[in-house]
């Protein structure tokens, strides 16, 4: 048995529907209400649709703006290039910002170690012991004590003259050199020169120092212990003398 086509089936449905509508219209008129049952309506064989009859999906044809059919839906423009850049030129890549170079930390300058002060060498004690007697202040002729100080007849006293022109006399500037002094005596230096001089123990005056003795004035010091004591003038260092206490 030949299977009817879809067009035949659809056409049969349309004719049946049209005939039914016409019959209903005639039935409503007075002339046709007496005529039953509808002698003019043709009869059609029953149409049986097989259960395995395919239901073809209608083909959808979309006309492209160019005039040809296309299978793509209207309004969509397929493109193989997903990029939204119409020019096709590659987008410039962002240049990486250079990382700042870390500034080197300044190295701390080492603190200079203080240089140790050189210790002062102890002044050697003169042979025979130190000086126990007290030194008197410089005494000048205007002082009442001056006459008694320079009086050679006073016991336990040794007089030493600082000679005129002593600054050019060197080792003879203080008279006898060395001068012998009995232990316990007081030695009196009288300045007979026209300029001031000093009586200063060698080398730096640590043992005794008279200070400036003006012309005509005197200075004294007691030497109770035996020993040898060198001295000089700080104003005229070439002037030297020695006491030999025994």
pLDDT at res. 119: 52
Task: Kindly report the average pLDDT of the chain as a whole number.
Answer: 72
Check whether 86 has a pLDDT greater than 50: no
Question: The tokens of 33 are what?
Answer: 């209400």
Domains and CATH numbers, the chain: 6-54 (no CATH), 145-245 (2.60.40.420)
If one counts every other C-beta atom within 10 angstroms of the C-beta of residue 80, the result is 4
- How far, in Å, CA of 193 to CA of 169, rounded? 11
CA nearest to 41, candidates 64, 60, 63, 24: 24
Burial 162-184 (b: 16+ CB within 10 A, else e): beeebbebeeebbbebebebeee
The mean per-residue pLDDT over the stretch 51-63 comes to 52
The residues pairing with 181 across neighbouring beta strands, listed in sequence order, are 245
- pLDDT value of residue 84: 47
> Hey, which residues does 191 pair with through a beta bridge?
162
Which of 46-60, 62-76, 166-180, 206-220 has the lowest average pLDDT?
62-76
Beta bridge partners of 52: none
DSSP strands (E only) in the chain: 62-63, 69-70, 157-162, 179-181, 185-191, 200-201, 218-223, 227-232, 240-245
Residues contacting 138, CB < 8 A, separation 6+ = 210, 211, 212, 213, 214, 217, 218, 219
Statement: residue 200 has pLDDT above 70: yes
Q: What is the pTM of this model?
A: 0.47
Mean pLDDT of 74-101: 53
Asked if the peptide bond before residue 182 counts as cis, ω within 30 degrees of 0, the response is no
Q: Are the beta carbons of 194 and 164 closer than 8 angstroms?
A: yes
Is the model more confident about 107 or about 225? 225
């Amino acid at each position: 048995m030949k299977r009817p086509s879809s067009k035949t089936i659809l056409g049969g449905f349309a004719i049946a529907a049209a005939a039914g509508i016409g019959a209903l219209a005639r039935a409503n008129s007075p002339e046709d209400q007496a005529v039953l049952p509808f002698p003019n309506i043709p009869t059609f064989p029953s149409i049986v649709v097989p259960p395995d009859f395919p239901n073809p999906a209608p083909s959808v044809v979309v006309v492209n703006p160019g005039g040809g059919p296309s299978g793509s839906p209207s309004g969509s423009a397929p493109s193989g290039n997903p990029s939204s850049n119409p020019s096709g030129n590659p987008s410039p890549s962002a240049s990486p910002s250079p990382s700042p170079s870390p500034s080197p930390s300044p190295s701390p300058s080492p603190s200079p170690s203080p240089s140790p002060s050189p210790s002062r060498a102890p002044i050697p004690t003169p042979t025979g012991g130190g000086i126990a007697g007290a030194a008197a202040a410089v005494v000048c002729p205007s002082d009442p004590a001056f006459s008694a100080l320079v009086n050679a007849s006073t016991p336990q006293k040794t007089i030493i003259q600082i000679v005129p022109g002593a600054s050019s006399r060197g080792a003879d500037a203080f008279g006898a050199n060395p001068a012998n002094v009995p232990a316990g005596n007081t030695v009196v230096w009288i300045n007979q020169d026209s300029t001031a001089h000093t009586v200063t123990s060698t080398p730096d005056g640590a043992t005794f120092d008279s200070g400036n003795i003006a012309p005509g004035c005197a200075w004294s010091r007691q030497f109770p212990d035996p020993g040898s004591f060198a001295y000089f003038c700080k104003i005229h260092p070439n002037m030297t003398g020695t006491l030999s206490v025994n």
